[in-house]
Amino acid sequence: MLQSKLFTKTRKEGPKDEVSRNAELLIRAGFVHKDMAGVYSFLPLGLRVLTNIVALIRREMEALGGEEVSLAALQEKNLWEKTGRWGDIGKDGGMDNWFKTKLKNETELGLATTHEEPLTNILKEHVHSYRDLPRYVYQFQTKFRNETRAKSGVMRGREFLMNDLYSFSPSEKSHEEFYGKVKEAYGRIFRAVGIGEHTFVTFASGGSFSKYSHEFQAITEAGEDTIYVHRGKKMAVNKEVMTPEVLADLGLKEGDLEEKKAVEVGNIFSLGTRFSDALEFTFVDEAGQKKPVIMGSYGIGPARLMGTVVEVLSDEKGIVWPETIAPFQVHLIELPKVHEQASKLYKKLTDLGVNVLLDDRDLRAGEKFADADLIGIPLRVVVSEKTIEGGGVEIKGRTEEKAEIISEEKLEKLLIS
């Protein structure tokens, strides 16, 4: 893409009311627009990153045998009253973060904060026998949560894209097996987006049906959670369950743990029969017995993940995108008097299938370099009279200090290998 055709411009400062580092950088670089606290719109560069994250997660969901759906946000109360989650502070886990609204006939509606109830209700219509199980269903869908505070940029949205996966299994054994597979898939996702070494499987509070749930917590000062990390065992304990009994249960000693601020980038949860009991979702097993379906739910917020990557990897110059999710692979910078050469190289690379942003704007070199650092594309390639004299183009990785001049042929090989 030609940068002259990109409608967004970079800016020197974020909005005055923005207190989060991830949002400040994403706004300055033109990835997102802040509509209000906790509500961000995704602009062309930001949507590209989000789309890459979604594609990466979707591959894992498909490999898990997931079937993709897209459920409605608008909800009526009947299902949610059965599980006790409609009221603002309902019994047994009622949720106080609904946005409620109304039809013209005064029927009260809510905007879904999660989708256990409606999806269970749908599956109930299609699953009747052990032959229909297990089923794994996922979506990428916009959730609405009426957060009291939303000061963590795109890491805590009042409206945000969520990848939620739900499992419906015929037995505890079948559930545990799938739960283990999701845990591994989540680990792969966080490694793929470049925060693997900062992310720890963290024991957190369970529910009526399981002692613990597992959170994936990424260490960052911008996080709202506090966790206790055991680096050797690559695991952690959330402060909310940090008691001598839990430590003993997990075989951990307090002295071996480090206290860290962290953000929950993923959560996997064994739901047991909490929802299938309340919504009467049963199946007939091999022996002809009616049994409740065993459920699990699993969630990753792609925009939160994007914000976390910015928090964890950015430096004083700007954002640092890992190749896997970067908006473009190459930021090609055209300096004065080499328009033809730069255009030819741009065409050659895009024809090879490389995603290139060509900075063809009429700006000083220093401004272009500063923008490239702020935007954070992994590889910067400069074409100038000097590089052409030197035999090619100048390349520099976003986090590298030194640039080097290589031939165009070598660049092509580097990019398509």
Rounded Cα–Cα distance for residues 372 and 179 (Å) = 41
**Candidate residues 109, 250, 363, 405; the one interacting with its own copies per rule CB under 8 A:** 109
250 binds its own copies (CB under 8 A): no
Q: Would you call 255 exposed, middle or buried from its count of C-beta atoms within 10 A (0-12, 13-18, 19+)?
A: exposed
Span of 4-12, 175-183, 228-236, 347-355 interacting with its own copies by CB under 8 A: 4-12
64 binds its own copies (CB under 8 A): no
Using CB under 8 A as the binding rule, the residues of this chain from 147 to 166 that contact its own copies are 148, 158-159
- Kindly determine how many residues on this chain lie close enough to bind its own copies according to the rule CB under 8 A: 52
**Candidate residues 20, 21, 23, 42; the one interacting with its own copies per rule CB under 8 A:** 42
70 binds its own copies (CB under 8 A): yes
Span of 38-46, 171-179, 232-240, 396-404 interacting with its own copies by CB under 8 A: 38-46
Span of 125-133, 264-272, 313-321, 380-388 interacting with its own copies by CB under 8 A: 125-133
Rounded Cα–Cα distance for residues 1 and 3 (Å) = 6
Rounded Cα–Cα distance for residues 45 and 138 (Å) = 26
73 binds its own copies (CB under 8 A): yes
Residue whose CB is less far from its own copies, 142 or 399:
142
DSSP letters, 225-247, are: EEEEEETTTTEEEEGGG--HHHH
24 binds its own copies (CB under 8 A): no
Identity of the residue numbered 67: E
Residue whose CB is less far from its own copies, 42 or 190:
42
76 binds its own copies (CB under 8 A): yes
Rounded Cα–Cα distance for residues 318 and 327 (Å) = 14
Residue whose CB is less far from its own copies, 73 or 250:
73
Number of residues that make up the chain: 417
C-beta separation of 140 from 73 below 8 A: no
16 binds its own copies (CB under 8 A): no
Residue whose CB is less far from its own copies, 61 or 219:
61
Q: Would you call 417 exposed, middle or buried from its count of C-beta atoms within 10 A (0-12, 13-18, 19+)?
A: exposed
Radius of gyration of the chain (CA): 24
